[in-house]
Every structure is written in structure tokens, then in C-alpha cells.
A and B are shown apart, each in its own frame.
Chain A
């Protein structure tokens, strides 16, 4: 079974631009969560989608948004990029929603803001 696939792996943008990151979950998994990982803040939860609905949201500004499609693939969008948005963005999928579900992570998209 293929794992979680995130594209692109690396991305360089400049301040003020916007970016869209993509995540394809493991086949059959319906829950997709997004995390931001930085050396200073560690792993921070962004949001979770299940059956095309946002189920949970972390403490991030409205510039961070996401969506999930009917095939469970998910996209994350960040608008008006700031230097502090430089991070590794990780996507994780699980069969269903719930904190008793092991999360299966992709290898992330490393976003650098110049």
C-alpha cells in the first residue's frame, strides 16, 4: 500500500506570495491532518479534515486554510506569506477521525520564504 504522498517536497517563495501544498492520504484513509514543524515551535497542529469537513483547527491565523476533496486528498493554502511561515509542513492520514487513531505521516513539504 502506498504511503502518504506530499507534493512538492521543496518550495521557495517570497514574502507576500501564496502557496498551495498537496497531500494524498493512504488509500482508504478518510482523515487528513496538517502540522507545521519548526525548530523553535516544534510540531503544531494546523487542522484536520474528515469526509470533506474541517473537524478541528489549531491556533493559526486565517491566512492558513485547507480543504479536502471527495477522494480524501487534501490541500493546504497559505496566503500573504511571511518569513515566519518557513517550516516543514507535514500531512498525516488515518482511517477515521479521533485521537485513538495512529497517524501516518508523509515526508513533508519544506517551505522556505525569502
Chain B
């Protein structure tokens, strides 16, 4: 079963716009990670946020975590065509250190 669920399933934006996607999960976690997957390739790790952190930045990426709502968001600012990809959140249940991935958000950035 999937611990995390991304929303929306798909997103289409114009180059230069911001893209926001959300991840909700069911049980308490130790960490939450975000990954990107380009078509036909493996996943690329973007950012890890620990359960005691509320916000983290990496370049044009901003991740927030709200453990009270069991949700996280990924914001990509000033999007580029190269950001076209599927984005996944991955969580671990506290009692079980296995990573569980959501179904992903497919982002299309139009030139």
C-alpha cells in the first residue's frame, strides 16, 4: 500500500511560472523525501526533510512539512522546460523504515 499520495496527479504550467504539488501521508514518519523522474529514467533525489523540520530549500526548490496535517508540499520556482518530469514523495512509517512512494505528480512545463 502507498503511504504517500501526491496531488494533483498532473500539472501543466508555462515556463517561468511556479509549480506546487502536495503530498499527504497516513502514519507518523521519520523523514520525507522528494524525487524527480524523467521519462524512461531512474529517480533522482531532490531533497530530504526530517520530521522535526518545517521547511527546507535547495536552489529553486522549497519543501514544507506539516506533521500535524501529515502533509508536505514541493514548490518549484521559475520553472524551466527541463523541469518537465514526474515528482514523487517518499515516506517511511516510524515503526517501519521502508520507503513508500506515492503515485506521483506529472509536471509539464510549456515553452
Contacts and interface: CB of A to CB of B under 8 A. Distances in A.
Interface of A: 4, 33, 35, 42-45, 48, 56, 58, 90, 92, 97-100, 102-108
Contacts of A42: 2, 101-104
Contacts of A97: 97
Contacts of B103: 42
Nearest to B103: A42
A97 B97 CA distance: 9
B88 interface: yes
Interface of B: 2, 30-31, 33, 35, 40-45, 48, 50, 88, 90, 92, 96-104
B33 A92 contact: no
B98 A56 contact: yes
